[in-house]
Chains A and B, each alone.
Chain A
């Protein structure tokens, strides 16, 4: 009677230990998933930040800003140059026709220059936007790769931890003790001569003639 109870208790302890192992593995897997998801969310946020810059309205704003920056640079530079090179003045009396020609030439120059500045700003803006785009892309890619590397390295460590989860050794020992008692208890009381220090276990399949188990090869 006690032997059967011991075997039942052993089975319960083993099941409990196995449950614990499974639960611990599940807990670790969930922690791993949480960490990976957190990192993956962060990487996605970085990518989204970059994608937002590719939206048409954002593109338009970037292009406008680049044009404004180029126009400012051109105007500043040309303004500084014109200060150093004032228009030529002809000494002495000149004809009205000449004066008119000089004035029309000057206004023509201003118009042409403004047109050139406007054109150059439009021509140069895409390159400016593209340069900015490349650097943003690089930043997003590096940030994303950092997060994915982190998730991958930590996942490896978790996988290792999950693979190495083992049952509680005390419970294992208890279960084996109960097994031994359950298997050997009756035989010993009958005086079969089996040494008291022998290790017997159902899981090992060691012989026990009284209950008819096969000997281990």
Chain B
């Protein structure tokens, strides 16, 4: 029996199985191993400490003994997760090449993906807090000044209405902070979602047969996700803030009343109370 197989192999007849078909099996396994290695590489860009793909361990025992000698090369690649070059002759088992260590993002040397992402998110959070905070601070200063002047106009400085309005102003300012926190969280969530989208796209590329360009796509996707989050247009969070202060409205009403009174005096008493150009009556 062995003599026949040996002779058949020597003469190139094959020992019963089509050599080309066996080669196809080997190549298909090597292709899947290549995809596994790429998927591992891509996932390692997003998570640290991932276990490398494990080898293919046949679940039935004694496989080697039960398989004819000339088809051993099918299972000769003991770990299909290792990138194995194809061997045209197909007769000699191919020695697998080990998977390279997890890639290190070139733009973040010495950092794990989690550290890099935390740093990115923290940077984005601080920048957005600073931006929105400055916006809120301006509005608060304006509202606070208006409140003070209105209170002074109506003679309520040091009164309970002023104390209540000042407390409300302060509360609205702090609640404005919660709007900022919300907007910051939205931006961070957007960044995370974009990152996951990048990962998903890169893995889909690998699943559909792409090569190392999928890893490059993932790497550049991580960078473009943060750039995109930074470039996101700032939201208008505080348009309706500080608009409902009782003393502010009261002060505005008082100012309006005074303006009306002045207009009345003007119309009755001539030019004793000069009017601004915008309020000047129409010349008939």
CB distance from B84 to the nearest CB of A (A): 14
Contact with B along A79-102 (1 / 0, CB 8 A): 111101101101010110110011
Closest residue of B by beta carbon distance from A113: B174
Closest residue of B by beta carbon distance from A34: B58
Residues of B near A80 (CB, < 8 A) are 129, 133, 177
| A19-56 at interface with B (beta carbon < 8 Å) | 20-21, 23-24, 27-28, 30-31, 34-35, 37-38
Contact call A87/B166, Cβ cutoff below 8 A: yes
Interface size class of B (residues with CB under 8 A): 35 or more
Closest residue of B by beta carbon distance from A120: B178
| B106-138 at interface with A (beta carbon < 8 Å) | 125, 129, 133, 136-137
A161-B17, A161-B25 known; A38-B170 Cβ under 8 A: no
Contact call B28/A85, Cβ cutoff below 8 A: no
Contact call A81/B180, Cβ cutoff below 8 A: yes
Expressed in whole angstroms, the Cα–Cα distance for A20 and B16 within the complex equals 8
CB distance from B168 to the nearest CB of A (A): 8
Expressed in whole angstroms, the Cα–Cα distance for A172 and B152 within the complex equals 114
Contact with A along B7-43 (1 / 0, CB 8 A): 1100101111110111011011101100110010001
User: B171: CB under 8 A from chain A?
Assistant: yes
Contact with A along B60-94 (1 / 0, CB 8 A): 10010011100100110000100000000000000
Contact call A85/B21, Cβ cutoff below 8 A: no
Contact call A81/B68, Cβ cutoff below 8 A: no
| A138-191 at interface with B (beta carbon < 8 Å) | 138-139, 142-143, 145-146, 149-150, 153-154, 156-158, 160-161, 163-171
A31-B67, A131-B192 known; A77-B181 Cβ under 8 A: yes
Of the candidates B140, B160, B167, B189, the one whose C-beta lies within 8 Å of that of A108 is B167
Residues of A near B199 (CB, < 8 A) are 139
A95-B158, A167-B16 known; A81-B133 Cβ under 8 A: yes
The interface-forming segment of B203-211, B222-230, B271-279 is B203-211
Closest residue of A by beta carbon distance from B139: A85
A–B Cβ pairs within 8 angstroms, 29 of them: A24-B68, A28-B17, A31-B58, A31-B74, A34-B56, A70-B185, A73-B181, A76-B129, A77-B181, A81-B174, A81-B180, A82-B173, A84-B140, A85-B137, A88-B169, A88-B170, A92-B158, A97-B160, A101-B163, A105-B168, A113-B174, A135-B193, A143-B39, A146-B39, A146-B207, A153-B28, A161-B18, A164-B20, A168-B8
User: A residues within 8 Å of B by Cβ?
Assistant: 16-17, 20-21, 23-24, 27-28, 30-31, 34-35, 37-38, 70, 73-74, 76-82, 84-85, 87-88, 90, 92, 94-95, 97-98, 101-102, 105-106, 108-109, 112-113, 116-117, 120, 124, 127-128, 131, 134-135, 138-139, 142-143, 145-146, 149-150, 153-154, 156-158, 160-161, 163-171
Known: A78-B181, A101-B164. 5 other contacts (CB 8 A): A27-B68, A78-B174, A80-B129, A105-B170, A113-B171
